[in-house]
Amino acid sequence: MNAIQNSIESLLNDLGLDNKLKDIAQKVFSNERVSFDEGVYLYQYGSLGYLGTLANYIRNKKHGDNTYFNRNFHVEPTNICVYTCKFCSYSKLIKHREQGWEYSIEDILNTIKKYDGQPVTEVHITGGVIPKQDFNFYKDLFKAIKAHRPELHIKALTPVEIHYILKKAKLTYSEGLKELKLAGLDSMPGGGAEIFHSDIREEIAGGKCSAEEWLEVHRSAHALRLPTNATMLYGHIEKYEHRVDHMERLRQLQDETSGFNAFIPLKFRNQHNEMQHLPEASVIEDLRNYAIARIYLDNFEHIKSYWAMIGRNTSQLSLNFGVDDVDGTIDDSTRIYSMAGSEEQHPSMSIRELVQLIKSVGRKPLERDTIYNVVQDYSSVIFEEDEKEKARLYN
């Protein structure tokens, strides 16, 4: 045993940890993978301080202080949906379509045009699932967006939508995704994953694509060099072992393809949905969950706290619990979380606010594009308003 390992050993002894937590910490410090049982043990017995220390160690080793955000906006083509996920606060059934919205390609293009001349880099497109918005609708939509603004990155469609539209079009995932890519699709977001385990998935999201189908769509996307993200909806009826099972399946696919960019834990928000009787997870549990994700998903480069869903304060705290990305400017263009009770009722942050959020916890703000190329380093950019505030506080 070398000197560093000796001092880690004695530090761990001083912390009064049980042997299993000590072993897990040793594994993390020597870059070894944590097992399924150890993942469950972390959820059961890892304290916030312990988990934060390990996750922060990994985060700092991977990224130092680098913390990423982008300039993005969302398009939600419809909130009408053939599915009835119990956690969803946003969708309306087709029979109540008069209560929802359903945009045409022209409507969406008009939204895209509102950003002409603004330096946004990504449009995130996802929403409900309806027969009318089929494979050809999305192909034509992507072509129209690219014809208008070729450099705008299109991150669009989850396996829920892909599975539905391609089944209807009688195409395999690979055939369909190939055509969508040719039409302009650049990458896929991480939605629709919920909890993979069938005991939970059938209860909260019965009828939509299965875990195996979700994973297969991402496998096909990765084979076509379409990068994707992955999410996990936590804090409802699932148990700790279901969360670890979810991350285990993602870790295995990532071993196979290396196609995932970021993992995004999504906290279940309980307003205006069929599961509103369930309490929400605490902030402590949110932070523990980010930390365990950072520890367990050793082959994921990025862990994102989606500030529109978790709120900007928890997102800021998460930067010391394994998170290195907070998502983007959003420009009040998504309704999914405000309708579910997020504290961010009109999610929109300026570059200055994002930079301030990151800098004030001692991290380095980097604007990225969707695939994590750095667009601009903001660490030494000074905003006039912040200078004035500094002068007021100091003098």
Binding positions for ligand SF4, rule: CB under 6 A:
81, 83-85, 88, 90-91, 128-129, 160, 208
186 contact, one of ligand V47, ligand SF4, none, CB 5-8 Å limit per kind: none
Residue 24 or 156: the one with the smaller Cβ distance to ligand V47 is 156
268 contact, one of ligand SF4, ligand V47, none, CB 5-8 Å limit per kind: ligand V47
Instruction: Note the helical H segments in 169-325.
Output: 173-183, 198-205, 211-223, 240-257, 283-296, 307-310, 312-318
Residue 128 or 265: the one with the smaller Cβ distance to ligand SF4 is 128
CA distance 96 to 119: 38
306 contact, one of ligand SF4, ligand V47, none, CB 5-8 Å limit per kind: ligand V47
Compute the least distance from the CB of residue 8 to ligand V47, in Å: 35
Q: In the chain, at which residue ranges do the beta strands (DSSP E only) sit?
A: 66-70, 72-75, 122-125, 153-156, 228-234, 260-267, 302-303, 325-328, 364-368, 374-377
- For the record, the structure tokens of 44 come out as 């059961």
Residue with the closest Cβ to ligand V47? Answer: 191
Residue 160 or 162: the one with the smaller Cβ distance to ligand SF4 is 160
What are the strands of the beta sheet with 260-267, ordered from one edge?
A: 228-234, 260-267, 302-303
Residue 54 or 129: the one with the smaller Cβ distance to ligand SF4 is 129
292 contact, one of ligand V47, ligand SF4, none, CB 5-8 Å limit per kind: none
Q: How far is CA 289 from CA 63, 172, 263, 299, 371, in A?
A: 19, 35, 12, 17, 24
CA distance 18 to 385: 49
- For the record, the structure tokens of 318 come out as 């998460």
Compute the least distance from the CB of residue 172 to ligand V47, in Å: 23
Compute the least distance from the CB of residue 205 to ligand V47, in Å: 8
Instruction: Note the helical H segments in 260-383.
Output: 283-296, 307-310, 312-318, 351-359
- For the record, the structure tokens of 33 come out as 């993978």
Which residues are at the interface with ligand V47 (CB under 6 A)? 87-89, 189-192, 194, 229, 231, 233, 264, 266, 268-269, 273, 306, 327, 336, 340
Residue 220 or 305: the one with the smaller Cβ distance to ligand V47 is 305
Residue 7 or 271: the one with the smaller Cβ distance to ligand V47 is 271
269 contact, one of ligand SF4, ligand V47, none, CB 5-8 Å limit per kind: ligand V47
**154, β-bridge pairs:** 123
Compute the least distance from the CB of residue 90 to ligand SF4, in Å: 6
- For the record, the structure tokens of 116 come out as 């002409």
Compute the least distance from the CB of residue 204 to ligand V47, in Å: 10
Compute the least distance from the CB of residue 43 to ligand V47, in Å: 19
Q: How far is CA 116 from CA 111, 119, 145, 378, in A?
A: 10, 8, 12, 23
Compute the least distance from the CB of residue 87 to ligand V47, in Å: 5
